[in-house]
Amino acid sequence: MMIALRSATAFLLLSTAAAAAPPSFRISYSPEAAPGPLDGRLILIVAADGGEEPRFQVGWDEDTAQIYGVDVEAWRPGVIVEIDGDVPGHPLDHTSELDAGTYHVQAVLNVYETFRRADGHTVRLPADDGEGQHWNRSPGNLYSVAREEEVAPGSSIEVRLTKVVPPIEPVPDTRYVRHFTVRSELLSAFWGAPVDLRAIVLVPEGYDEDPGARYPVAYQQGHFPSGVSFFREAPPDPDAEGDERRWQSSSYEFYQHWAAGRLPRMLVVLTQHPTPYYDDSYGVDSANTGPYGRALTEELYPALEREFRAIGEPWARVLFGGSTGGWMSLAQQVFYPDFFGGTWAFCPDPVDFHAFQLLDVYDENANAFYDRGPFKQVELPAARASDGRVFLTTRDFTMQEHVLGTSGRSGGQLDAFHALFGPVGANGYPEPLWDPLTGEVDREVARHWIENYDLTAILRRDWKTLGPRLVGKLHVTMGTKDTFYLDGAVRLLEEFLEGTRDPGKGPYYGGSVTWGDNEPHCYTGTPEGQDMMRYHLGVFAEHMARMAPDGVDTSSWR
C-alpha cells in the first residue's frame, strides 16, 4: 500500500510538472525607438546580479548571465516575439531550466543590415558602427530598460525595447594623437556598400615644428582600439586604485617620456578595420570578409604614410601586437614580406593548425569538442586560469556564440576564425569548420583552412622563396602556460624555424622565439621592471636602424 501511494504521488508530481509551461518572455519594441521593419538577432539576457545592466554581464566564466537568442526578419513595432522553452539559450539550454526566482531582465536587438556582395551573395549582417563590433553597445541597436522580474513556471513576462544606443562622438585630435580615414575602394566594391578604414596615429614631439622631418612607423595590430591605451596626458585620477591606478600611472609616464623626447621619434599607428564578423579583420584577404590585406597595404598604409610624412620604405616599417594582433602581425609579415621590415608577434592566435588550441585540424577523425576513444570522450578545454583550472571549453564557447548569432554572426572569436579561415557557404555565410551542436569537423573546410592560413605550413611550403625575404624579421613571444593553449602552435612554429639552420632548408630565419616560463596570455618578453611600450619602441628603433640602407642617417629619430 505504501509503494502504491508513493507511485501515485510521483505520478501526480510528474503530471503537474508536465502541465506547467516553461517561463516565456513576450518582447516588442516601440515605434519611438525605430519605425521598422528591422532584421537582426534578438537577445534576451537574464541576470542574477543587479549591479550592472544584464547586457554587460555576458562573459566566459561561471558568473556569466543567461542568454537566449532568436533571429527576426522584417520585425515591426508592437509585434510580439516570444522567447519560450523552444528558443535556445546559454549556459542553460531552455527557459524551462530557469529556477524560480527574482532576476534582472533585459533584451537587445542586434540590428542587421543587408549587403549585396560582389560574389553574388546577399547577406544580413551587423555592420560595425564605430564601436568595434560589440552587440551590447553598438550604436543603433535597440534595448530595453533592465527590470527586476519574478520568473516561475508558467509566467509570462512583457519586455519592451524603448532605448537606442546613441552614436559614438568623434574624438578630437590633440597635439600628439591624430585620426585618419580613407575610403577603401577595394572593400566597398566587395561589400556593395561604402567601407572606410581608419587609424589612430601617435605623432612624436616636434612633429608640427619640423615639417621636413620624416619618420619610421610602428604598426600596432590588435582588437579594435578606441584610443591609444598606453598614452595618457593627464595624471592618474586621485580615486583610482589597484590595476586601474597602475595602468593610468604607466600611461601617464609614457606620455611624459614621449613629450620630453626621451623615446624614439617615430609614428605609432593603431588601425581600425572591423568587419561585420569581428572587431578586427586579421589583416589578410578572405573569401568571407573581403580583401582586407590588399586594402590595408595598398590603400590605408600608403595614404597614411604620405599624410604623416613617413619614410615610406619597407625597412622603416615594423608590426607588433598581441593575441589577435600577434597573429595579424605575423601573418602580414608572411603574406607581404617585402612591405614590412620586421614583426613582433606576442602570444599569437594559432599559427599552426596541428595545434589550433587543443584541436588538431589535420586529424581526419578530429572533433572540436571532444577527445574521443572507443568507450570514453573527454571535453576539450579552451581556456585555463593561472592555477590550471579550466573555466571555458570549446563546446561551451561555441554554444554561447551560436546563441548570440547564427550563421557566424555573433561577433565572437570562434565565428571570427570561421569567417577568416573558411570558405563561403552556399547561403553566403561562412562555412564553419565544425558543427556548433556536435563539434563534428568538416574535412573540406579543414583543407581550406590548412591550404590558405596555416602560417607554419605556408612558411614550410614556400621557404625557398619566402625565407630570403624574411631573414631577421620574425620575432615571436609566448608564455609556456598560455591561457588559451596557444603555446603548442608556437612550439611547432619554432621547430620549423630552427630547422632552417639546415643548409638544405634554405636561409636560417635569423629571428627569435622567446618563452616566458609559466607565463599566461599575453607574454611580451619585456624585461622585469620595464614598461612594455617604452622597451619595445627602443627595440623597434634599433632594428630599423640595422635594416636601413648604408648611408641613411637614423640618428635623428633614435
pLDDT at 556: 85
Mapped to the 3 state alphabet, what secondary structure does 59-127 carry? CCCCCCCEEEEEEEEEECCCCCEEECCCCCEECCCCHHHCCCEEEEEEEEEEEEEEEECCCCCEEEECC
pLDDT at 402: 97
Average pLDDT over residues 81-86: 93
pLDDT at 14: 42
Query: What are the b/e assignments for 502-528, b being 16+ CB within 10 Å?
Result: eeeebbbbebebebbeebbbbbbbbee
Checking if the pLDDT of 506 tops 90, the result is: no
Checking if the pLDDT of 353 tops 90, the result is: yes
Host H or E run for residue 449? helix 443-453
Average pLDDT over residues 502-531: 93
pLDDT at 55: 97
pLDDT at 18: 46
- Number of domains making up the chain: 2
Given 452, 470, 488, which residue is the final one in a domain? 452
pLDDT at 52: 93
Host H or E run for residue 45? strand 38-47
Checking if the pLDDT of 10 tops 70, the result is: no
**Reduced to 3 states, what is the DSSP secondary structure of residue 474?**
strand
Average pLDDT over residues 210-219: 96
Q: What's the DSSP call for residue 203?
A: P
Q: Per the domain annotation, does 189 fall within a domain?
A: no
Note down the domain range covering 140. Answer: 18-164
Q: Per the domain annotation, does 341 fall within a domain?
A: no
- Contact partners, residue 70, CB within 8 Å, separation at least 6: 41, 42, 81, 83, 87
Checking if the pLDDT of 12 tops 70, the result is: no
Determine the Cα–Cα distance for residues 68 and 5; give it in Å rounded to an integer. 40
pLDDT at 503: 83
Checking if the pLDDT of 50 tops 90, the result is: no
At residue 72 the predicted structure's pLDDT band, cuts being 50, 70 and 90, is very high
Q: Hey, what's the cell of 399?
A: 554554444
At residue 6 the predicted structure's pLDDT band, cuts being 50, 70 and 90, is very low
Determine the Cα–Cα distance for residues 477 and 322; give it in Å rounded to an integer. 9
Checking if the pLDDT of 56 tops 60, the result is: yes
Q: Per the domain annotation, does 278 fall within a domain?
A: no
**For residue 40, what is the domain's CATH number?**
2.60.40
pLDDT at 51: 87
Checking if the pLDDT of 8 tops 90, the result is: no
pLDDT at 5: 41
Checking if the pLDDT of 16 tops 50, the result is: no
pLDDT tens readout for residues 95-150 = 999 999 999 999 999 999 999 999 999 999 999 999 999 999 999 999 999 999 99
Q: Per the domain annotation, does 34 fall within a domain?
A: yes
pLDDT tens readout for residues 386-420 = 899 999 999 999 999 999 999 999 999 999 999 99
Q: Per the domain annotation, does 53 fall within a domain?
A: yes
pLDDT at 15: 45
Q: Per the domain annotation, does 412 fall within a domain?
A: yes
Determine the Cα–Cα distance for residues 494 and 507; give it in Å rounded to an integer. 15
Given 118, 139, 164, which residue is the final one in a domain? 164
Q: Per the domain annotation, does 103 fall within a domain?
A: yes
pLDDT at 19: 54
% of the chain at pLDDT higher than 90: 90
pLDDT at 263: 95
Given 116, 148, 164, which residue is the final one in a domain? 164
pLDDT tens readout for residues 444-493 = 999 999 999 999 999 999 999 999 999 999 999 999 999 999 999 999 99
Checking if the pLDDT of 558 tops 90, the result is: no
At residue 198 the predicted structure's pLDDT band, cuts being 50, 70 and 90, is very high
Determine the Cα–Cα distance for residues 28 and 87; give it in Å rounded to an integer. 16
pTM comes to 0.93
Per DSSP bridges, beta strands 267-272 and 512-516 are unpaired
pLDDT at 39: 98
Q: Per the domain annotation, does 544 fall within a domain?
A: no
pLDDT tens readout for residues 166-186 = 999 999 999 999 999 999 999
Average pLDDT over residues 85-96: 93
Determine the Cα–Cα distance for residues 166 and 329; give it in Å rounded to an integer. 33
pLDDT at 3: 40
Strand intervals (E) in 369-445: 370-372, 377-379, 381-384, 390-393
